[in-house]
């Protein structure tokens, strides 16, 4: 069952002198119930903007976001940092209660159960965010998102602000909760290896456009798009870096008739500078946008 269907999503930010920053351009994807989709790309690729569009924190300039109405699908966002997720003036209990929404009264029993389910001692509920550790703040942020029992969690780099020692525990927690509760995930990350562990599908974004989209194992074992290969080879521990020299093009009024990766791409030709590559289906559910794709 498709929980979320996103079609041709667009988001532009107006700048001075009539310029437009093209943050998200014609992005389409779907998430099934219980599925995990990883959104990856460098900073400025539009991945966090997509998370904010899905959770209503930004309004789209085009395209559609359709949620399954038969289940009254609820979507919640797990923020990147405690500063975004938790109000410093509120107790942890009140912060978690925010996740219940404005129209629902607080429910101490449910909040304590949710805290326990994310490994947060209910005794900490009376404290303020600065009185607990970074790992506990991350768990409180997850509890705030989970307390309304959403079908879909949008996680925006949920471990980026945490110590390495805490990151693995929080990722394990998210994975366990997802399996226990059959929650679908949209997992935003710059780290393809983490996405491989957490997700079933991956969507690779470059300057707001889809470079590649498909089952995570297929994409990561035989990436079709040069940018996906560059991302994979630049991961920590990889020595055979794909050359992606050259300055990235600006997302401000980018050319509509070129591949936006052309000045960093080792396979670029004149065609890439004068013609925009469309998304091509390689296999069922696997697409990439490149004029000179490697097909396995
Ligand atoms: Fe590289 Fe050309 Fe493919 Fe763009 S279209 S990724 S420049 S080969």
Ligand 1 contact, 277 CB (< 6 A) = yes
Q: What is the largest CA-CA distance in the chain?
A: 64
Using alpha carbons, select from 56, 59, 82, 73 the residue that is nearest to residue 144: 82
Residue 261 Cα, ligand 1 centroid: separation in angstroms? 6
Residue 184 pLDDT class (50, 70, 90 cuts): very high
> Is 53 in contact with 24 (CB distance < 8 Å)?
yes
Please state at what angle helix 134-146 crosses helix 164-181, rounded to 10 degrees: 20
Q: Where are the alpha helices (DSSP H) in 147-290?
A: 164-181, 192-198, 216-221, 226-233, 270-274
How many residues does this entry show for the chain?
A: 296
Confidence at residue 90, expressed as pLDDT on a 0 to 100 scale: 95
Q: Which residue is closest in CA terms to ligand 1's atom 7?
A: 262
Residue with tokens 């679908």: 184
Question: How many other C-beta atoms are found inside a 10 Å radius of the C-beta of residue 154?
Answer: 28
Instruction: Indicate if ligand 1 lies below 6 Å from the C-beta of 206.
Output: no
Which pLDDT belongs to residue 103? Answer: 60
Q: Which helix (H) or strand (E) holds 153?
A: strand 152-156
**Which of 72-76, 265-269, 282-286, 292-296 shows the lowest per-residue confidence on average (mean pLDDT)?**
292-296
Which phi and psi angles does 17 have, rounded to 5°?
55, 30
Tell me, what DSSP letter sits at residue 47?
Answer: H
Locate 285 and state its tokens: 């559910």
Strand pairing class (62-67; 36-40): unpaired
The rounded Å distance from CA 243 to ligand 1 centre is 13
**Over 80: is that where the pLDDT of 70 sits?**
no
Radius of gyration of the chain (CA): 20
Could you identify the atom of ligand 1 that is nearest to the CA of residue 291? 5
Sign of CA dihedral 140, 141, 145, 146: negative
> Ligand 1 pocket, 289 CB below 6 A?
no
Q: Which residue has the tokens 């560059």?
A: 230
Report the range out of 101-115, 136-150, 226-240 with the highest average pLDDT: 136-150
Which of 145, 201, 203, 148 minimizes the C-alpha distance to 174? 145
**Is 264 a residue whose pLDDT tops 90?**
yes
As a whole number of angstroms, the distance between CA 167 and CA 153 comes to: 18
Cβ burial of 79 (10 Å; 0-12, 13-18, 19+) is buried
230 lines ligand 1 (CB under 6 A): no
| pLDDT > 70? residue 245 | no
Asked if residue 196 has its Cβ within 6 Å of ligand 1, the reply is: no
261 lines ligand 1 (CB under 6 A): yes
For the chain, which domains are there?
Answer: 2-202 (3.40.50.300), 220-288 (no CATH)
Given a contact cutoff of 8 angstroms between Cβ atoms, the answer to whether 258 and 274 are in contact is yes
pLDDT value at 240 more than 50: no
pLDDT at 68: 83
Average pLDDT over residues 195-204: 95
Is ligand 1 within 6 A of the CB of residue 267? Answer: yes
Cα-based angle 243, 237, 173 (whole degrees, multiple of 5): 120
């Amino acid at each position: 069952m498709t929980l979320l269907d996103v079609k041709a999503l667009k988001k532009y930010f107006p700048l001075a002198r009539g310029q437009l920053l093209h943050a998200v351009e014609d992005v389409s994807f779907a998430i099934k119930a219980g599925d995990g989709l990883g959104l990856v790309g460098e900073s400025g690729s539009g991945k966090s903007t997509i998370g904010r569009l899905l959770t209503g924190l930004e309004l789209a300039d085009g395209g559609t976001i359709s949620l399954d109405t038969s289940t009254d699908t609820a979507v919640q966002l797990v923020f990147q940092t405690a500063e975004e997720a938790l109000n410093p003036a509120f107790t942890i209990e009140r912060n978690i209660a925010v996740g219940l929404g404005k129209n629902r009264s607080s429910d101490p029993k449910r909040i304590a159960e949710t805290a326990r389910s994310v490994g947060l001692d209910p005794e900490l509920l009376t404290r303020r965010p600065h009185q607990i550790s970074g790992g506990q703040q991350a768990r409180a942020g997850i509890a705030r998102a989970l307390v309304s029992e959403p079908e879909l969690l949008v996680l925006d780099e949920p471990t980026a602000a945490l110590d390495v020692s805490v990151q693995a525990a929080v990722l394990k927690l998210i994975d366990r909760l997802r399996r226990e509760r059959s929650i679908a995930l949209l997992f935003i990350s710059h780290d393809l290896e983490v996405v491989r562990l957490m997700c079933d599908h991956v969507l690779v974004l470059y300057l707001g456009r889809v470079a590649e989209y498909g089952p995570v194992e297929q994409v990561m074992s035989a990436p079709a798009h040069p940018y996906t290969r560059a991302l994979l080879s630049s991961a920590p521990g990889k020595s055979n870096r794909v050359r992606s020299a050259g300055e990235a093009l600006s997302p401000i009024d980018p050319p509509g008739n070129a591949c936006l990766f052309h000045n960093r791409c080792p396979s670029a030709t004149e065609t890439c500078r004068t013609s925009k590559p469309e998304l091509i289906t390689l296999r069922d559910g696997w697409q990439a946008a490149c004029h000179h794709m490697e097909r396995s």
